[in-house]
Structure 1
Amino acid sequence: MRTLRQMWADGDNAIGGWLSIPATLSAEVMARAGFDYVCVDTQHGTVEYQITVELIRAIEHGGSIPIVRVPWNEPGIIGKMLDAGAEGVIIPMVNTPEEAEAAVKACRYAPDGGSRSFGPTIGRIRRPDYVEWARDNIAVIPMIETKQAVDNLPEILSVPGIDAVYVGPADLSLTLDLPPANNDGSPAFDEAYTRIVDECQKVGVMPGCHATGPLVPKRFQQGFRMVTATADQLALGAGAAASLAAARADVTGDGESGGSLY
């Protein structure tokens, strides 16, 4: 299975899923759906470390690339997630080149200018050459999710070792005085997205983002190379609602709610 960095090197885009539910079954279901990557959200999801280790295994078993959004730009947390087998980390609230440099250092070992401590609990079980493998494959993905980060983007992208950046639309919107959502069509929001793609393309860094529904193909058309299309709880809710609507329609014959099915 290719890593994200290998996919991008081959010229391919990556479409992913998102996990907030601490259940290995849902993780494997998401992976087996065919997403290129599945991201475990340890920032806003209801996920602790031990289950994250198990979710990573389930994602791999299902055939997707396991990555993790860490709760903060902190080297101990980042290293621990990589030691658990994550093949990439999304790092929130990176607003300056100094913060971007700290994120990169936390993902790299000393020969590559990093500060990561060696102890890849899962990685070295599978890869005797883990240090070399990590150098070539671990994806470092800072989040660009504030106006400050957008303003500092050229300087952030100049930091060696950044493979991609990932837009957080809700937090970015809040700093633009907009509701916390994908505010497609808002001039300030659209301008920020356009600038992110343009600046990334100048330096060969992959732009990524959250999107749903018709925004997914639009984001790829805009130049994004990594798009998360849905999350486990959203897919579960949408699937359950669709099944219930179909069942009610079958029972009532007119598609209208007939109350309880029992």
Structure 2
Amino acid sequence: MELKGKVAIVTGGSKGIGAAIAKELANNGVKVIVNYNSSKESAERVVDDIQLNGGEAIAVKGDVSISQEAAELVQAAINKYGKLDILINNAGITRDRTFKKLDETNWRKVIDVNLNSAFNTTSAALPYLIESGNGRIINISSIIGQSGGFGQTNYSAAKAGLIGFTKSLALELARTGVTVNAICPGFIETDMVAEMPQNVLEQVIARIPMRRLGHAGEIARAVIYLCQDGEYITGQQINVNGGLYM
């Protein structure tokens, strides 16, 4: 698929993996809607970086865990560019607790932001993606959704749910030309991983066969591959994890 002139929404696009994806899409000629909820300044910096490099992007506020705000995000893309070709469901948070200490509020918040948001945005975007003729839905899951993680029952359940969502939706949309895939990052150099205690992080790196953390740009390039060359790839989990989970 020729990416120049396509339109993409990246949820949670103001930082980390989302920001890297937004910039890489723009570098390939895609017009990008950088979604954010609370990080306005970060989102505007992403847009500024894209524009300085000759790309086109706008920042749009919206809590995609709320269906109405997700619909308004999609409508903002349509109002600005008249179409939508690519949806990147990347928005995510962590509220790590051992299960015995996990309360209902932190369970529901993580499920809402990491999983229910994908339902909200996809529901609103789907008619436009089908109209596109070769739409792309890419859900950013996680190695934790595949292997589990200590103190992460909420996060793991949400990210595993994204994988199941991906597979079922891919089956339903296969005849429309819309592909649906999940990317499952391993441990990537982001603010989220930086919050881990140093001794724990060192133990994680020691378990990775490639002996290093991943880079956000490596996730972004996987997105580009699926968008540009993935017309016969759907319902898949693309693992970018340095060999930590196979």
TM exceeding 0.5: no
With structure 2 as the length reference, what TM-score do the two structures score? 0.38
Q: Which of the two has higher C-alpha Rg?
A: 1
